[in-house]
């Protein structure tokens, strides 16, 4: 009988022997009960090791999970990197800037003939900026409400209110945007501006 | 023996192994990686992986057999 192969069994059990050694060990195992018993114990130990640390999930479970995760990833919109304005925010910022410009122009001391009450939009429960556009005759010198011009119809400001008369205390304009969590409040302090030909503010 | 008990036993066995042997055993036998891949991951030669894994297997078997025997003797 060939020499015992107990030392080689840990390599044999996982196929780490080269072909010739492997066949030699197998040949001996066929003849040696002692080594055969040891080989079976080692095999069982390895199976036990794997079973004990095996995941309860089958490959099908893993595949299903992977597909679900990928579907969810594709369904969600890509996160916007911080610091980059979305088109919505850009419009809002531009509209607000235009409004401020218009307001400061409006509040500057001007000849009485061109005094026009500031654009007051009617308070409406579900107002949009569209009413401002429907009253062009009421405010000939008043530039169009920037929000109406700048904002697309899909993104109206719901309400703009001028709460104070011009030229007195700082004007305060509040408007609720389409996003219920965003409300814009502008305070503008009138300052004398050099007398210039009033012109429409820059469109955003 | 319950699965939970087996897990505990096996984990105990793994902690008794030196780091290299444990890594070789886990990657090779539990994760199913080839000897070459395991060697590449651990930055050693394949022959080292083979001998470390073999040593680990023998130790785990001896550890478990000893514990089971001890438990069997008590109960």
A179 touches chain B (CB under 8 A): no
Comparing C-alpha atoms, which of B56, B60, B63 is closest to residue B28? B56
Q: State the nearest Cα–Cα gap between B67 and chain A, in angstroms.
A: 13
The answer to whether the Cβ–Cβ distance between A46 and B29 falls below 8 Å is yes
A6 touches chain B (CB under 8 A): no
Neighbours of A5 (CB within 10 A): 22
Could you give the CA distance from residue A118 to residue A108 in angstroms, rounded to a whole number? 12
pTM for the full predicted model: 0.47
Eight-class DSSP state of A125: T
Could you give the CA distance from residue B65 to residue A155 in angstroms, rounded to a whole number? 73
CA B20 to each of CA A13, B10, B49: distance values in angstroms, whole numbers, following the listed order: 20, 17, 9
Count H helices and E strands in chain A, helices first: 7, 3
The answer to whether the Cβ–Cβ distance between A45 and B60 falls below 8 Å is yes
Instruction: Provide the residue-wise pLDDT of chain A in tens; the chain has 204 residues.
Output: 788 999 999 999 999 999 999 999 999 999 999 999 999 999 988 988 888 887 777 789 889 999 999 999 898 887 777 766 567 777 788 888 888 888 888 877 655 444 444 444 444 444 444 444 444 444 444 444 444 444 444 444 455 555 545 556 778 888 888 888 888 888 877 777 776 655 555 555
């Amino acid at each position: 009988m060939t020499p015992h192969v107990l030392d080689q069994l840990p390599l044999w059990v996982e196929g780490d022997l080269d072909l010739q050694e492997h066949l030699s060990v197998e040949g001996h195992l066929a003849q040696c009960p002692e080594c055969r018993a040891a080989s079976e114990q080692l095999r069982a130990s390895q199976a036990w090791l794997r079973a004990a640390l095996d995941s309860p999930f089958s490959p099908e479970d893993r595949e299903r999970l992977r597909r679900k995760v990928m579907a969810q990833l594709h369904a969600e919109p890509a996160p916007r990197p911080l610091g980059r304005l979305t088109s919505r925010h850009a419009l809002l910022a531009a509209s607000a800037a235009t409004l401020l410009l218009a307001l400061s122009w409006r509040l500057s001391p001007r000849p009485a003939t061109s005094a026009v009450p500031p654009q007051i939009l009617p308070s409406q429960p579900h107002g949009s900026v569209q009413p401002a556009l429907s009253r062009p005759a009421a405010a000939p010198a008043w530039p169009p409400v920037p929000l109406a011009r700048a904002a697309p119809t899909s993104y109206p400001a719901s309400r703009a209110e001028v709460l104070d008369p011009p030229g007195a205390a700082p004007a305060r304009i509040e408007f609720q945007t389409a996003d219920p969590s965003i409300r814009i409040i502008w305070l503008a302090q009138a300052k004398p501006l050099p007398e210039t030909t009033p012109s429409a503010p820059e469109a955003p | 023996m319950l699965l939970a008990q087996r897990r505990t036993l096996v984990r105990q066995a793994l902690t008794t192994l030196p780091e290299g042997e444990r890594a070789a055993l886990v990657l090779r036998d539990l994760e199913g990686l080839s000897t070459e891949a395991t060697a590449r991951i651990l930055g050693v030669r394949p022959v080292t992986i083979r001998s470390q894994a073999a040593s680990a297997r023998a130790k785990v078997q001896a550890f478990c057999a000893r514990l089971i025997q001890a438990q069997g003797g008590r109960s």
